[in-house]
Amino acid sequence: DYRFDESANLIYHFTWASFCDWYLELIKPVLNPSPSGEGPGVGESGETQPGPDHSPADKPHPGPWGATEARPGDGPAPSLEREGSEETRTVAGWVLDQILVMLHPFMPFITEELWHAMRERPYDLILAKWPMPDARALDPGAGPEIDWLIRLVSGIRAARTELGVPPGAKLGLHVRDASHLTVQRLERNEAALKRLARIEQIVEGGAPSGGAAQIVVEEATFILPLDGVIDIEAERSRLTKAMEAAAKERDSLSQRLGNPSFVERAKPDAVEKARSDHAEKAAEAERLQAALARLG
C-alpha cells in the first residue's frame, strides 16, 4: 500500500514530537551551554556530522542517556547534561540528516535547500541513501527510560498548569515507594528533570506537610509541595466548579445523543457537532477530575 498520508504523518510526529519537543530539549545544554557551565562549549569539531551513508553506531555506543557503562572505581555515573557532548552533537546532526532524507519525497525543494545550507555536501539530497535500521544503534534500556522521563515531566507540567502554579516557580519533589530502578533513573536524569520540570530539589521518601499535588508514574508516587505557592482551597473550589460544569454539559449532550428523534431528524452536521462536543466535555471533565485527585 502506498499510504503517503500515513508516511508523512509518522515522519511529522517523529520530527515535531520526538526530535524537536524532547530530544533537542534534553540536549540543549550541550548544544547551547550557559555561562554558568550547564554544558560544554560548542567548538568547530561539533560541526562534523556523519553523512547519510554512515551511522553513529560506527562509534562505540553508550549506555542509556549517553553515559558509558560504569566500571569499578569510576564513581557516580555522569549525567546526560555533561557526558559525551561531542557524540551528542554528532548524533543530533546525523538524525537531522535522516529527517531531511525521509522528508525529501514530500518536500523536495525546501529539504534540498536545507541539506546544502547545513554544511558542504558531496552530493544532492535526492541521491542520499534511505535510512536503514541498524541493530548496533539500539540500546534496550534507553527506550523505557526516555518514556519514563517523558511521562514524569509531562505529569509534573500538567499538574503545574492545571493547578495554576506560576510558570517561574521552582518546586520541590518528594518521591515515595520508588523501586531501585526508579532511584537509578532519577540519579541519571536529575539535571534534565530539574530543568524541564522546574524542580528545585528532589527528596527521596517522606511527604511534605500541607497541600500538595501527586503524580503517579509506574510504582512511584511523586509529590509536589504547594503550600505558599498557590491557595490550595481556592484552587480546589475552582477545579470543582469547572469539573461540575463540564460534567453537566457532558451529560446534557449525552441525553441529546441518546434521543433517537434527534439523531434521526437532525442534520448530520448537527449530530456530528454534538458528538464532538460530547467527547470534548467528557475529556475536560476527566482532566479536571484528575487535577482534583492530584490535590488529594
What pLDDT was estimated at residue 212? Answer: 86
What pLDDT was estimated at residue 75? Answer: 43
* Residue 199 phi, psi (nearest 5): -105, 135
CB 191 within 8 A of CB 202: no
- How many alpha carbons fall within 13 Å on the CB side of residue 148? 22
Which residues are bridge partners to 221 per DSSP? 176, 216
Residues 6+ apart with CB under 8 A from 244: none
> Across the 296 residues of the chain, what is the mean pLDDT of every consecutive 10-residue run?
87 93 90 56 34 39 33 42 73 92 94 92 91 81 91 93 89 91 93 93 79 88 88 87 93 91 88 93 90 78
Quote the CA–CA distance of 115 and 123 in Å, as a whole number: 10
Q: How big, in percent rounded to 5, are the helix, strand and coil portions of the chain?
A: 60, 10, 35
To which H or E segment does residue 48 belong? none
Place of cell 491557595: 231
Which CATH number is 232-295 given?
A: 1.10.287
Quote the CA–CA distance of 159 and 239 in Å, as a whole number: 12
Predicted TM-score of the model (pTM): 0.69
Place of cell 540536549: 27
What pLDDT was estimated at residue 137? Answer: 76
249: left (phi > 0), else alpha (psi -120 to 50), else beta?
Answer: alpha
In CATH terms, the fold of domain 142-225 is hypothetical protein PF0899 fold (3.30.2320)
Task: Tell me the three cell numbers of residue 104.
Answer: 525529501
CB 208 within 8 A of CB 225: yes
- Amino acid at position 33, single letter: P
| Extents of the domains making up the chain | 4-137, 142-225, 232-295
What pLDDT was estimated at residue 217? Answer: 92
Burial 127-141 (b: 16+ CB within 10 A, else e): ebeeeeeeeeeeeee
Question: What does R_g of the chain's alpha carbons equal in angstroms?
Answer: 24
CB 76 within 8 A of CB 15: no
Which residues are bridge partners to 223 per DSSP? 174, 214
Quote the CA–CA distance of 20 and 99 in Å, as a whole number: 11
